[in-house]
Structure 1
């Protein structure tokens, strides 16, 4: 229940990576309360099942805590990149105070508080049984299709309609339950392996299997239409990866039970084909009527700025190496290094390469955490590869299918992070946490 509440609330309330959205006033207390509840009710079982994931989460929390602990002037003033702060105090005739490692303390505290939701979901999801993880597939697919329909209505409706839930957003395009079209497109693209997993785990009669196959194929086509409505080129590329991962995840389901009579079988197929054709026609009509397709062929000024700003980010990484500037401090640090030729009426809110921003703000410790995460993902991949021949009668079949889909989601969002910052959106971070739990479960089951 904790997992479902947090996942649903996150997609409904915090589909933006900004720290000034009003819904955080509800989300932060809710996630904190549910974190305490998850720790009390699920902590022991979660530790038994996912010790490595919980140790990793604890390491992340500890690193952020170290960034906000005040240090004496003799220490912080000698850290790389702090000269400008020390010079300001000296120019004002003030003594150097105790300061934390973070260059912008409020931002780092915000980053620390934002971990309550993911840690709560991690604890709660690790304690779930296999049947409940199977149900999570339905929930995620339901959220995805609902977000896609919202995005379709946004794309064909007024550019500043009531269905745009965030003040700063991509008006005129389909953003669904998100503020950013690229984040919406990335989420939709990751649903391809989720669809494959859902169909692979089907259990039922042969006639029902045909209907499920038709619905899965239809949903896959609709996802492509929804992604096109976002106008996101990165989303289309991720959709290609999503289809490839769907092929990797999919295992032909085995129908159970007797086939019903000829009339019932034909009726099931006609209904399935009819619904599929109707939805596909609607999707094609809507896509051709939206401006998103023309947007795909236009030059994106924001993409050009990302490329031009990358040398500035690289220079800032060198200036703050090896300790970093403090998590969440990118805006202030970039403004210190920003050349006049890149100054515009809007500010550059993220590096649009989350690995570079992670290194800039977290330094070598953050790099070590990335390597740790990569090692855990590699270990899970080895297990999944070893059990690639699992069949539906195996006791770990469901766990392996979910593990494959979880690994696919993590890799796709990691690829998206090369040019964007999807995991700074709370809803997508919770989604990724669940995917990591699926990988951990597959690894744990194989190690028994």
Structure 2
């Protein structure tokens, strides 16, 4: 296993897609993925050491800082320190009433912050394994795995639409029969995952018009796009502009260059082809059965006109929580704990908010100034890595990785895309694409990416 990083990367991606789309509410499913990741790290011990010692210095430091944040929040502090931190008054009173409280960590909920740290194990493993072997063969296997699982998600989502209420749903609490969710617990996560798969499709080698590879890629792109539409996710529909723009840019570059690259192996085409046939057949059956009527697309457009939006009310109360715990934060993963205290009576609804529906506000509550410092540092690294990779052989990988991280950053304004294991692994792979595209040993390129 230690000599097959491509196989391990592929296996981890497939497992993340199968069991990692439910978020923190599905701890056992997440545990399966985390134990598999720990096993892979145990069998490839030098991988971690090499990542820390010989990996890209800036990236290694950023990853270690990200892992360290929840761990530092778990270190016990004497009462004279933690009780003086902002927002700890209620916690202090509760611990005193219970007869304890001499030592306590920075976080207000040790269990939730520990879960947040454990959630970083799988994406760290994927990133470390990818950086161990950044060969084109490994990256193509990973791209094929993500795109294949995206198509499988559309296949499963079509079955869900055909079956109606609750049919083939992995996560039963999401029972909206009109929206495709696939392997995820909510439509927004499904939509951004499919958008990311479309961006990854743009990294495939250019093919001759109407060749087998071209038809397979175009068909996969069409099905993934239809999948995004059927999720009825407003952010997903807007984010479709990113793969559309990158695809047009790639196609324009190919036309200008007047050349094509050889396609990938027959095995990959067979996998994608099989999924295409099955998904196309089910979509046709759904249309014939009246499950995808014209009014369904009217419903998608009608979602942009909804006036009963609850997010502004959640943001208003969440900003108060952020101010109460600023600048140290309440601890990673603790939003749902502290928000219940600050939610105003006029904004209370029968459903719990669960999330801030704006990851920047949520990070302000949970991590304070340190969280925003990490966001700023990651942004600087992504911009530097993208610029560094544009003039090299793998510039399309650099653009796809940048597009994935940009899509995540944009959806984070209205949702929480990185709060499930699957999208965390997708983000880790996007970082690996950027790191691989800007390697010092990579060659410069001609306009379409051919080596000189």
Q: Does 1:212 align with 2:213?
A: yes
Q: Does 1:138 align with 2:140?
A: no
CA distance in structure 1 between the partners assigned to 2:307 and 2:339 by the alignment: 16
Matches within 5 A, 1:293-442: 293-294=298-299, 296-298=301-303, 304-385=309-390, 387=391, 396-397=392-393, 399-442=394-437
How far residue 118 of structure 1 moved from its aligned partner, in angstroms, is 1.1
2:265 corresponding residue in structure 1: none
Moved more, 246-255 or 23-32: 246-255
1:242–1:412 CA contact under 8 A, matched in 2: no
CA distance in structure 2 between the partners assigned to 1:137 and 1:303 by the alignment: 39
How far residue 358 of structure 1 moved from its aligned partner, in angstroms, is 1.1
2:157–2:181 CA contact under 8 A, matched in 1: yes
1:185–1:235 CA contact under 8 A, matched in 2: yes
How far residue 20 of structure 1 moved from its aligned partner, in angstroms, is 3.5
Distance 1:256 1:324, change over 3 A: closer
1:73–1:99 CA contact under 8 A, matched in 2: yes
1:156–1:290 CA contact under 8 A, matched in 2: no
How far residue 52 of structure 1 moved from its aligned partner, in angstroms, is 2.5
CA distance in structure 2 between the partners assigned to 1:401 and 1:299 by the alignment: 32
1:33 corresponding residue in structure 2: 39
CA distance in structure 1 between the partners assigned to 2:304 and 2:399 by the alignment: 36
Q: Deviations over 1:416-448 (max 9, x none)?
A: 111111111101111110110110112223788
Distance 1:373 1:210, change over 3 A: same
Q: Deviations over 1:387-410 (max 9, x none)?
A: 1xxxxxxxx52x222122111111
1:267 corresponding residue in structure 2: none
Moved more, 70-79 or 219-228: 219-228
1:222 corresponding residue in structure 2: 223
CA distance in structure 2 between the partners assigned to 1:256 and 1:418 by the alignment: 38
1:229–1:290 CA contact under 8 A, matched in 2: no
CA distance in structure 1 between the partners assigned to 2:424 and 2:58 by the alignment: 18
How far residue 323 of structure 1 moved from its aligned partner, in angstroms, is 0.4
Q: Is the partner of 1:415 in helix, strand or coil?
A: helix
Q: Is the partner of 1:423 in helix, strand or coil?
A: coil
CA distance in structure 2 between the partners assigned to 1:187 and 1:213 by the alignment: 22
Give the superposed CA RMSD: 2.9
CA distance in structure 1 between the partners assigned to 2:307 and 2:117 by the alignment: 28
Q: Does 1:55 align with 2:57?
A: no
CA distance in structure 1 between the partners assigned to 2:430 and 2:308 by the alignment: 29
Distance 1:114 1:301, change over 3 A: farther
Which structure 2 residue ranges, 5 or more long, are not aligned? 1-6, 263-272, 444-452
How far residue 46 of structure 1 moved from its aligned partner, in angstroms, is 7.1
CA distance in structure 2 between the partners assigned to 1:220 and 1:61 by the alignment: 35
Q: Does 1:177 align with 2:183?
A: yes
CA distance in structure 2 between the partners assigned to 1:134 and 1:42 by the alignment: 22
TM-score (norm 1): 0.84
CA distance in structure 2 between the partners assigned to 1:299 and 1:61 by the alignment: 38
Which structure 1 residue ranges, 5 or more long, are not aligned? 258-270, 388-395
Runs of 4+ displaced beyond 6 Å: 278-281, 299-303
How far residue 218 of structure 1 moved from its aligned partner, in angstroms, is 2.5
1:379–1:443 CA contact under 8 A, matched in 2: no
Q: Deviations over 1:273-292 (max 9, x none)?
A: x98xx779839936437857
CA distance in structure 2 between the partners assigned to 1:426 and 1:214 by the alignment: 32
How far residue 27 of structure 1 moved from its aligned partner, in angstroms, is 2.3
Q: Does 1:194 align with 2:196?
A: no
1:244 corresponding residue in structure 2: 245
Distance 1:144 1:256, change over 3 A: closer
Q: Is the partner of 1:71 in helix, strand or coil?
A: strand
Distance 1:329 1:300, change over 3 A: farther
CA distance in structure 2 between the partners assigned to 1:287 and 1:407 by the alignment: 34
CA distance in structure 1 between the partners assigned to 2:306 and 2:366 by the alignment: 26
Distance 1:249 1:45, change over 3 A: farther
1:423–1:429 CA contact under 8 A, matched in 2: yes
CA distance in structure 2 between the partners assigned to 1:281 and 1:344 by the alignment: 37
How far residue 225 of structure 1 moved from its aligned partner, in angstroms, is 1.5
Q: Is the partner of 2:105 in helix, strand or coil?
A: coil
2:269 corresponding residue in structure 1: none
How far residue 88 of structure 1 moved from its aligned partner, in angstroms, is 2.8
CA distance in structure 2 between the partners assigned to 1:181 and 1:93 by the alignment: 42
2:15 corresponding residue in structure 1: 9
CA distance in structure 1 between the partners assigned to 2:362 and 2:44 by the alignment: 31
Moved more, 327-336 or 24-33: 24-33
